[in-house]
Amino acid sequence: MIKIDYKFYCINCGKEIERNINFPFCIECQPYSQESTFRKIKGTHCHYCNKTSDYIDIILPFCKECRLFDENESSNNIYYIQTLKLYKGMEENERKKLKPIWTDYQNATKIIELLELVKAKKLKIKDVFDNEPCHNKRTLNILKGWGKGIAFNPPIISHNKSLGIIDGRHRILAAYFLGVDSIPIILK
């Protein structure tokens, strides 16, 4: 079951705060954090899910489950394998609960039918995660981000004779996976 939760938490006390990856503290905990400017500030609560964990600090304010995947890391990582299995097994109704979130939506040149982009490849939903782990990880990170209410830039598409993806292949895959019909794009 994918958790959709747009809240963020102080890594010291667990209070709900705005998202701030660089300084994930509430106002009350800020003096505490300033005292320890010169060392790696430890936290106890995950900035994303509020779960307590030994691994949290100001550099990586997430528990192991919430950390984004590093595409260069070994793919034997149990959290990657579990997350991949979780998304691969998602039914259509579950996928549709998650929605893509885009930045700069107004400045996007146009909204494009997503199928126009994927039909050339005859892509099926089951193929979305049949890629190299480094690509799967990037697509999973986007889906995890959307589950937390984080916006991504619309993909950049070239429009010469045919449509070509300049930037945003994984965002397109992630949006397609969620079953949306169209996405904003920036035409170059």
Contact, 54 vs 22, CB < 8 A? no
- Residue 181 burial (CB count, 10 A): 11
Shortest CB 3 distance to Zn ion, Å = 10
Which residue in this structure is represented by tokens 């900035």?
Answer: 47
Shortest CB 109 distance to Zn ion, Å = 36
Contact, 112 vs 185, CB < 8 A? yes
- Near Zn ion in 105-164, by CB under 5 A: none
Total interface residues for Zn ion by CB under 5 A: 12
Shortest CB 43 distance to Zn ion, Å = 9
Q: Per CB under 5 A, does 60 bind Zn ion? A: no
Kindly tell me which of 15 and 169 has the beta carbon lying closer to Zn ion: 15
Helix, coil or strand: residue 179: coil
- Near Zn ion in 2-31, by CB under 5 A: 10, 12-13, 15, 26, 29
Kindly tell me which of 66 and 183 has the beta carbon lying closer to Zn ion: 66
Binding residue (CB under 5 A) for Zn ion from 46, 98, 108, 178: 46
Q: What is the DSSP string of 66-134?
A: TSPPPTTS-TT-HHHHHHHHHHHT--HHHHTTS---BSSGGGSSEEEEHHHHHGGGT--GGGTT-S-HH
- Site for Zn ion, rule CB under 5 A: 10, 12-13, 15, 26, 29, 46, 48-49, 51, 63, 66
